[in-house]
Amino acid sequence: MATQHSRSAARAMMAPAVVLLLGWMLIPLGMTLYFSFKKYLPLRGGDLGWVGFENYERFVSSSAFWPSVQATLIIVGGVLAITVTLGILFALLLDQPMWGQGVVRILVIAPFFVMPTVSALVWKNMFMDPNNGLFAHLWRFFGADPVVWLTEAPLFSIVLIVSWQWLPFATLILLTAIQSLDGEQLEAAEMDGAPTIKRFWYIILPHLSRAITIVILIQTIFLLSIFAEIFVTTGGAFGTKTLTYLIYQRVLESQNVGLGSAGGVYAIILANIVAIFLMRIVGKNLDA
Amino acid sequence: MGRIVLEQVSKSFGDTEVIPPLDLAIEDGEFAVFVGPSGCGKSTLLRLIAGLEDTSGGRILIDGEDATAVPPAKRGLAMVFQSYALYPHMTVRKNIAFPMRMAGIDRAEQDRRIEKAAAALNLTDYLHRRPGQLSGGQRQRVAIGRAIVREPAAFLFDEPLSNLDAALRVGMRLEISELHKRLDTTMIYVTHDQVEAMTMADKIVVLRAGVIEQVGSPLELYKTPRNTFVAGFIGSPKMNLIEGPEAQRHGAHTIGIRPEHIAVSAEGGPWSGVVGVSEHLGSDTFFHIHDTGLGDMITVRADGEVGFRHGDRVSLTPRMDVLHKFDANGLRIA
Ligand SMILES: Nc1ncnc2c1ncn2[C@@H]1O[C@H](COP(=O)(O)OP(=O)(O)OP(=O)(O)O)[C@@H](O)[C@H]1O
Ligand SMILES: [Mg+2]
């Protein structure tokens, strides 16, 4: 129970942080909204006045819009599927007692600390390069023609790179969830006649369900805005233009700030829908 | 059916031998209780029987068949854990149904057994709830229900009542005893509670550091403890163990006398001492008597009404017919 006094002290101390955060968020948000209702072409006449919802209509009716939505969904869905499945597998493995556990865990978590730009470049040049990449050598070793990853399977390549980055996050969250499972429950299930697969299916997976939901929601929010990985690999070519990338192109390549801002507002709405679900689930978790 | 025989069973964790080779037979329909101080290997022994731990040596026979290498699920034993180990995401009904579902028993039969178990355990009104919405005692009953429906050859209980409050513990103790009478199935029960061991068991197995100190009925252990360890462990409060000249006078290295076998009076007995703490339980009073010249403090039991005070000098008369005598190795002298 906080006293009156400690509560007002807490408020006073939190105030600077709250003001800073609000400014940080509200000013860009306000500016995005402001520009989205304007025709604003920095290199072709500047501010050309208010246009109402025209930017919003043009953004969704452009021929690039639906393909970009599709690319976004494929990347987000693909990465989620890979990270959650492999994350569960890795978490199960890492939970087993083994020699050098500490080192292995750190290694598994390491990719999370590599910057997206760097990891994308490493993947592009060291693994996926059709002449000198590791994969090319591997393919040649088996007598196959090297795959030109970024042009032949561009979406898959990006999913692969991004999954590699996010797998540690999923593994870490799922590992802590697995570790919180009461061992006696598994023993009880074993005595009850459930073999390994069924123990996983009936005991471990339901126990993980909340952690899985949280992984999915948090990752979705971040995956909706991946940019660097696309920028340094395909540059948005070969059907890898996501919603975020489209916005970037509208603003910086076509120099149409108003149109890009309208796209930004769509993205904000989308991210918030996910965030609301996330808050609910995390909130429930905290209550329980 | 459910005769469990351990032949030279041993268990080591790495280099530490927790259970040196031991032999034990538990007859069909028997209620066997493992007691012993904390860390003596009671749980380990139970888990060996369950198959949750591999033996380091020896054989485990269930109904005459070698079950040493048989996986837990195939041994036909059911276990009730101290933490209940219910499945939190399943309703009570699903929890109880789980072992039957794993065994592929058909739906109608499942429902029949669930209804029967629920009625026997007073769980009928809670079948749709989840474990999180139940009290400790109710969870315990669900755990027992989950064990019953499998119709196992034997039940294994690992301190099932230690998370319950005193009143509930008494109630559940009776329920488990009653269940045993009704099902007439072998039960092995681990506890470090004296009263549970004495009241429930057909056979008590006293363990110390993985070694069986004595096996016998509660009264056998109470009347003829095989050594000083069992003598001190069975019975509450503990038996008084006296060494020195007084013991030698009786031709023993150590003599033991239970608090309830010493009469306390103002004068006239062979021993005397000064009253220290007295514990009034209403029906009984336990006096701690100091300065008796017999070594340690002596505990005696008296009627609830006996009114000696702290510091009073009293006289003690032990009942010679129930005096226990032990030799220098702590073993009972006939
Ligand atoms: N997995 C393990 N690895 C190493 N040592 C263990 C392991 N499990 C138990 N032990 C050791 O074996 C001994 C017996 O343990 P056990 O759990 O059987 O004791 P217990 O009699 O059930 O005690 P309590 O009454 O406290 O439950 C203890 O000394 C314990 O430290
Ligand atoms: Mg134990």
DSSP per-residue string spanning chain A: ---HHHHHHHHHHHHHHHHHHHHHHHHHHHHHHHHHTEEEETTTTEEEEE-TTHHHHHHHHSTTHHHHHHHHHHHHHHHHHHHHHHHHHHHHHHHS--TTHHHHHHHHHGGGGS-HHHHHHHIIIIIS-TTTSHHHHHHHHTTPPPP-HHHHSHHHHHHHHHHHHHHHHHHHHHHHHHHTS-HHHHHHHHHTT--HHHHIIIIIHHHHHHHHHHHHHHHHHHHTT--HHHHHHTTT-TT---HHHHHHIIIIIS--HHHHHHHHHHHHHHHHHHHHHHHHHHHHHHH-
Please indicate whether residue B42, judged by its CB atom, sits closer than 6 Å to ligand 1: yes
Would you call B73 and A194 a contact, using CB atoms and an 8 Å cutoff?
yes
Tell me whether B131 touches chain A (CB under 8 Å): no
Residue of B62, B81, B96, B142 to mutate, testing the A interface (most A Cβ within 10 Å of its Cβ): B81
Of B77, B24, B3, B7, nearest in space to B207 by CA: B24
Report yes or no: B9 and B148 within 8 Å, Cβ to Cβ.
Answer: no
Please check whether residues B188 and B121 belong to one and the same domain: yes
Of B270, B249, B276, B267, nearest in space to B317 by CA: B270
Report yes or no: B272 and B297 within 8 Å, Cβ to Cβ.
Answer: no
Please report whether residue B334 resides in a domain. Answer: no
Q: Percentage of chain B surpassing pLDDT 90?
A: 54
Please indicate whether residue B191, judged by its CB atom, sits closer than 6 Å to ligand 1: no
Average pLDDT, chain B: 90
Report yes or no: A256 and A45 within 8 Å, Cβ to Cβ.
Answer: no
As beta bridge partners, residue B7 has B59
Range of the domain at B185: 4-230
Instruction: Quote the tokens at residue A239.
Output: 């059907």
CATH number where B268 lies = 2.40.50.140
Would you call A184 and B103 a contact, using CB atoms and an 8 Å cutoff?
no
Query: Ligand 1, atom 30: nearest CA belongs to which residue?
Result: B39
Report yes or no: B55 and A154 within 8 Å, Cβ to Cβ.
Answer: no
First CA to last CA across chain B, in angstroms?
A: 36
H or E stretch covering B276: strand B271-280
Query: Ligand 1, atom 23: nearest CA belongs to which residue?
Result: B39
Please check whether residues B47 and B183 belong to one and the same domain: yes
Please report whether residue B126 resides in a domain. Answer: yes
| CA dist., res. A36 & res. A21, Å (int) | 23
Q: CA-CA-CA-CA torsion for B330, B331, B332, B334, nearest 10 degrees?
A: -140
| CA dist., res. B334 & res. B328, Å (int) | 14
| CA dist., res. A61 & res. A174, Å (int) | 41
Q: Label residues A31-60 b or e (16+ Cβ within 10 Å = b).
A: ebeebbbbbbbeeeeeeeeebeebbbebbe
Residue of A182, A184, A191, A205 to mutate, testing the B interface (most B Cβ within 10 Å of its Cβ): A191
Report yes or no: B277 and B300 within 8 Å, Cβ to Cβ.
Answer: no
Between the CA of B191 and the centroid of ligand 1 the distance, in Å, is: 14
How do B284-290 and B271-280 pair as beta strands?
antiparallel
How do B154-158 and B186-190 pair as beta strands?
parallel
Of B40, B7, B3, B10, nearest in space to B24 by CA: B7
Tell me whether B70 touches chain A (CB under 8 Å): no
Total domains, chain B: 2
Say what the pLDDT of residue A20 is: 92
Task: Among 1.10.3720.10, 1.25.40.10, 1.20.120.330, 3.40.50.720, name the CATH number for the domain at A53-287.
Answer: 1.10.3720.10
For CA atoms A110, A115, A120, A125, give the dihedral sign.
Answer: negative
| CA dist., res. B187 & res. B189, Å (int) | 6
Between the CA of B164 and the centroid of ligand 2 the distance, in Å, is: 16
Q: Give residue A286's pLDDT band: very low, low, confident or very high (50, 70, 90).
A: low
Between helix A65-95 and helix A205-223 the angle, nearest 10°, is 140
Q: Give residue A285's pLDDT band: very low, low, confident or very high (50, 70, 90).
A: low
Please report whether residue B47 resides in a domain. Answer: yes
Report yes or no: B214 and B226 within 8 Å, Cβ to Cβ.
Answer: yes
Tell me whether B98 touches chain A (CB under 8 Å): yes
Say what the pLDDT of residue B294 is: 82
Please check whether residues B192 and B303 belong to one and the same domain: no
Please check whether residues B17 and B79 belong to one and the same domain: yes
Please report whether residue B38 resides in a domain. Answer: yes
Of B301, B300, B322, B299, nearest in space to B219 by CA: B322
Q: Taking residues A108-118, report their average pLDDT.
A: 85
CATH number where B191 lies = 3.40.50.300
| CA dist., res. A78 & res. A94, Å (int) | 23
**pLDDT over threshold 90, residue A151:** no
User: pLDDT (tens digit, 9 = 90+) per residue, B215-247?
Assistant: 999 999 999 999 999 998 898 889 999 988 888
Would you call A202 and B87 a contact, using CB atoms and an 8 Å cutoff?
yes
Please check whether residues B219 and B261 belong to one and the same domain: no
**pLDDT over threshold 90, residue A122:** no
Please report whether residue B135 resides in a domain. Answer: yes
Would you call A202 and B98 a contact, using CB atoms and an 8 Å cutoff?
yes
Report yes or no: B56 and B228 within 8 Å, Cβ to Cβ.
Answer: no
Please check whether residues B141 and B22 belong to one and the same domain: yes
| Residues of A in Cβ contact (< 8 Å) with B88 | 207
Cut 0.90: pTM above it = no
- Alpha helices by DSSP H, listed for chain B, are 42-50, 92-103, 107-120, 136-148, 166-183, 194-200, 218-223, 228-233, 245-249
Instruction: Quote the tokens at residue B297.
Output: 């403090």
Nearest CA in chain A to B151: A192
Instruction: Tell me which of B230, B263, B291 is where a domain ends.
Output: B230
Please check whether residues B185 and B80 belong to one and the same domain: yes
DSSP B96: H
Question: Higher pLDDT residue, B32 or A155?
Answer: B32
Average pLDDT, chain A: 84
Tell me whether B52 touches chain A (CB under 8 Å): yes
As beta bridge partners, residue B33 has B189, B204
Please report whether residue B22 resides in a domain. Answer: yes
Please check whether residues B278 and B139 belong to one and the same domain: no
Please check whether residues B158 and B199 belong to one and the same domain: yes
Please indicate whether residue B329, judged by its CB atom, sits closer than 6 Å to ligand 1: no
Question: Higher pLDDT residue, B164 or B271?
Answer: B271
**pLDDT over threshold 80, residue A150:** no
Please indicate whether residue B47, judged by its CB atom, sits closer than 6 Å to ligand 1: no
User: For residue B210, which atom of ligand 1 is closest to its CA?
Assistant: 14
**pLDDT over threshold 70, residue A287:** no
Q: Give residue A177's pLDDT band: very low, low, confident or very high (50, 70, 90).
A: very high
Please indicate whether residue B40, judged by its CB atom, sits closer than 6 Å to ligand 1: yes
Tell me whether B133 touches chain A (CB under 8 Å): no
| CA dist., res. A250 & res. A264, Å (int) | 10
Say what the pLDDT of residue A145 is: 78
Tell me whether A194 touches chain B (CB under 8 Å): yes
Please check whether residues B252 and B212 belong to one and the same domain: no
Of B47, B59, B51, B4, nearest in space to B28 by CA: B4
User: pLDDT (tens digit, 9 = 90+) per residue, B177-211?
Assistant: 998 998 899 999 999 888 889 999 999 999 999 99
Question: So what's the ipTM on this one?
Answer: 0.81
